[in-house]
Each structure stands twice: as structure tokens, then as C-alpha cells.
Amino acid sequence: MQYQSTRNPDLSISSSEAIVRGLGPDGGLFVPESFPHADLEGWKGLSYPALAEKVLEGFLTDYDAAFLRDAAEKTYGDAFGGKAGNLVRVHDGLYALELWHGPTCAFKDYALQLMPKLLVQAKKNLGRHETTRILVATSGDTGKAALAGYAGLEGIEIEVFYPNAGTSEIQRLQMATQQGDNVAVYAVEGNFDDAQTGVKRVFGDAEVAKALEARNIRLSSANSINWGRLVPQIVYYFYSYFRLVEQGGVQWGNPVDFCVPTGNFGDILAGYYAKRMGLPVGKLICASNKNNVLTDFIRTGTYDARRTFYKTTSPSMDILISSNLERLLYHLSGSAEKVRGWMQDLAKNGVYTVDAQTLAAVQENFACACADDAQGAAQIHERFAQDGYLCDTHTAIAFCAADSCRDGAPVVVLSTASPFKFPRDVLAALGEIAPESDFAAMAALTARTGCQAPQSLKVLDSLPVRFNTVITPAEIRDAALK
Ligand SMILES: *Cc1c(COP(=O)(O)O)cnc(C)c1O
């Protein structure tokens, strides 16, 4: 299987190269040239790691099969406490695919626990021996998931930059207590944009690249446009379909709708890939918070990022430029030339409009809806009161969208974070007055609901803090050169 760029179909590279390079030379994203056909009958009884191996094999054809088996087993076995791809019935016709039983309690673990192993092996496959230094700017979830994934890996170093006072107490402690000799964490004065802009500037700094190259170090990023982060996310669509059949929620072969709380469009795009591989997917429901640029796009065909940016209680979906949409547009329009034009319009004018045919193809596969913080909070309350099901602020947005887009098919909502990662907002949604401290709020949430907080979050206030350096955005460069 070879990979093309969304802005240049003549490029043809291996999966190892796509994972090491991350981004195409033309700014395009790497996409598979075709989709392997799923063996639904053969796959339905497989364990999560065994199914992951099958899906990976189809896409990562230049990797050794024994390596993929071992990597899938090590990633999705014990690390997810036997709950990888856990599917829970909420009420008739509505299910939650709980993707937060991994080490950092958010769905990003599915990709970021595996991708580091894929990167190390890709370098071996390509005969490369440099040290890879990964820089991550994070508003919260990605930083910890990346630290946990890359910690202790040979030939890799990772530095994470988060906005000082811009994350929750839990998110900060998750990062500040990270173990491992190859990790560093910095709080940056300012907001997330200041941290992100500082990191982007370092990536574009030729002098930094040169100085590091002299020491055999190359910079790389861990963000969600890397193919190595997308491919692991395809697995749980298949896995949950098979569990839904077993639980009697759908008849074998009949379609299921998936509803996905969406930010950068990576998670929901993996669902589209599963559909292209042959999974009976009805609609993919794209759920947005008040930053509803995708809702407007799916309804009208115009992507307009020239709008107010809102900070919401579902921060991981607070995004105005949804990078992975570019991949979908390439698959649906079949034209790198068109995609290049749209992305140029976006960069230059902040807006683009796709042609009628592409829009029709988008609407054939995707439904959409958005909900604000108050609607999300009401949904947390309703699901708990009516169904005894407790969800986080991101998943709540998806439950809202599932409500407004239901068309008779069973709906699987992708539950992307543990409610205990956002205990104050969840507690407030249940009508309680939330205490100042996240840890007090976790305890209060358990007292209110009877649900237990994940152990990895509960122990955070007793772990030694390893990192408490605060730097200015200008000092990110020095940190990257260390
Ligand atoms: C990252 C994230 C999302 C959005 O996923 P995308 O792949 O960016 O669309 C949703 N919920 C949570 C909790 C996340 O961390």
C-alpha cells in the first residue's frame, strides 16, 4: 500500500515514510491510495489487539507482521485494563463506545499509545538513526497522551508546552508528574495560541534545524494530521459493530450510525475509512460545540473560519481549522487540484466553498448538529437521570447531536473522555455546586453518582511533581535547542 498527498497524487511513498514525514512537502496530508477490504466474517470474533493487528496489516504493508502483532498486543492488552473498545447500552437504540479506559483517560490514547511504536519501527524500516525530538503544544489532553506514549522510547525525546494557568488542575498534574528520562514539560506564559505559535515558529526556524542536525537530532510533531495517529482509530469502529451485533443492538449486516464529538476531524474520519473498508455504517454524525464551523460546512458547502473563537466546557473541540477535513475532501472530490485550491483559499481568505458534487457526497455520508455548553450540561443531567449513564462534557455534545439526527438506525456515540477528567463541569451539570479543587470535585462526583474515578487520576495529587518551569513564548526556542 502506497500513500499519496492530498495536494499531489503523483507522490507515492511507503507507510513508514508517511509516518516519519508527517506532512507532505506541498503542505498536503498523506492518504492511502486505496482501502483494504474488511473480512467482516473473519474479524467478528477477534479480541481487540488481534483485530487491531488485522486493520494495521492492511494499511502498514511495509511493516513486519510479527512487529504489528506484538505492538497491538502491548498497546491494547493490559494498558486498557481489558476495556479497549468497551460498548455500553445507554437506552434502546443508543450506545456509548467508551474510549477512555486507557492510561490518560481520553480517546487519544488509542492513537498515541501505538503511534510512537510505529514511529520507532518506521525509522528502523527506513534505516534512519537520528534522534527524533518531538515538540507538542497542547491545551491539555494531547500533551499528556503524547508524553505517556513516547516516554522511555529509544531514539525519541519529547517536549511539551502548555499554557500556564490555561489547563485544568488535573491536566496540569498529569503532565507535571510524567515519568521518563526522555520527557520535558514547560508551562508557557500566555494562552494556548501563544504556546502553539511559539512551537510553530521553532518548526519553521532553519537555524534551529541546522543546529540540531549537527547533533543528529530532527524535530517532529505528534499532532493528529500524522497518518500514524489516524490508522489506529479505525479499529474501534469495527470492534464496536461486532459487539453491538452480539448485544442484539443490530442485525448482522444492517447499518449503524456513529456520532462523534469532533474537533480536528480525525476521529470521525477514521469512521469514514471503516465504511470505505466495508463496515455497514449508515450516517456519520459530526457533533460540534459552539465552534460550529463544521456544522455550517456540512449544511452549506462553505467552510468559513472567519468567526469568533469560543472557549467552551468541551475544550478539545474548540477548533476553527479542522485539519483532517482536507483528507475527506480529497477522497470525495478525487481531485488534488481542487483540494489545493480550497486550502489556498482557506489560508489566504479564511474561507472556501466546495463544488456541488463534493457537497452532495459529503451529505450522503455525514449528518451534523451542534450544541452549546448549556445544552451539553442539560444532556449530562438527562442521561444520568433517565439512563443512569454518566458522561463527560465532550461526549455530552455528541449525545445532543445524536438526539437531533436520529433516523431509526441504532446510534453509537463515541465517548471520548472520562467524566472524571472534567469533574467540576460534570458536577455542576448534575446541579451540584462544584468545589474549587478538581480532586474535591472528583470525590463529590463519586458521592453523587456512585461512579468511581479512574485510579490514574485519583493518585495524581500524591505523585511527585517533576516539572514546574515557567517560560516565555520566546524561550520555547531555547528549550527546543537544549
Ligand atoms: C481530541 C478530542 C476530541 C476531538 O477529536 P478530533 O479527532 O480532533 O475530532 C473530542 N473529545 C476529546 C475528549 C478529545 O480529547
140 pLDDT higher than 80 = no
Instruction: Report the nearest atom of ligand 1 relative to the CA of 421.
Output: 13
pLDDT for res 193:
79
Cα separation, 238 vs 275, in Å, equals 9
Residue 445 Cα to ligand 1 midpoint, Å, equals 23
In this structure, which long-range contacts are made by residues 81-85, counting pairs with CB atoms below 8 Å and at least 24 apart in sequence? Answer: 84/48, 84/49, 84/110, 84/236, 84/239, 85/48, 85/235, 85/236, 85/239, 85/240, 85/243
| The one-letter amino acid at 113 | Q
Helix ranges (H only) for 206-253 are 206-213, 227-246
Residue 262 Cα to ligand 1 midpoint, Å, equals 6
Where is 202: in which H helix or E strand?
helix 192-203
The CATH code of the domain at 85-105+230-421 is 3.40.50.1100
| Domain coordinates in residue numbering, the chain | 85-105+230-421
% of the chain with per-residue pLDDT over 70: 100
233 pLDDT higher than 90 = yes
- The pLDDT confidence band at residue 23, using thresholds 50, 70 and 90, is confident
269 CB near ligand 1 (under 6 Å): no
The overall average pLDDT reported for the chain is 95
Residue among 139, 171, 264, 312 to mutate when testing ligand 1 (max atoms within 8 A of CB): 264
- The pLDDT confidence band at residue 9, using thresholds 50, 70 and 90, is confident
Question: Which cell numbers hold the place of 221?
Answer: 510533531
262 CB near ligand 1 (under 6 Å): yes
Q: Which residues are catalytic?
A: 108
| The one-letter amino acid at 154 | E
Sign for the CA dihedral angle at 118, 119, 124, 126 comes to: positive
Mean pLDDT over residues 167-190, rounded? 94
pLDDT for res 329:
98
Residue 208 Cα to ligand 1 midpoint, Å, equals 31
327 CB near ligand 1 (under 6 Å): no
% of the chain with per-residue pLDDT over 90: 87
Mean pLDDT over residues 185-212, rounded? 90
Determine the 3-state secondary structure of 43 from DSSP: helix
Nearest CA owner, ligand 1 atom 2: 316
Instruction: Report the nearest atom of ligand 1 relative to the CA of 265.
Output: 9
pLDDT tens digits along 312-336: 999 989 888 899 999 999 999 999 9
Question: Between the CA of residue 202 and those of 148, 269, 330, 481, what are the distances in Å?
Answer: 23, 29, 29, 9
473 CB near ligand 1 (under 6 Å): no
pLDDT for res 454:
95
322 CB near ligand 1 (under 6 Å): no
Cα separation, 435 vs 306, in Å, equals 37
pTM of the model: 0.95
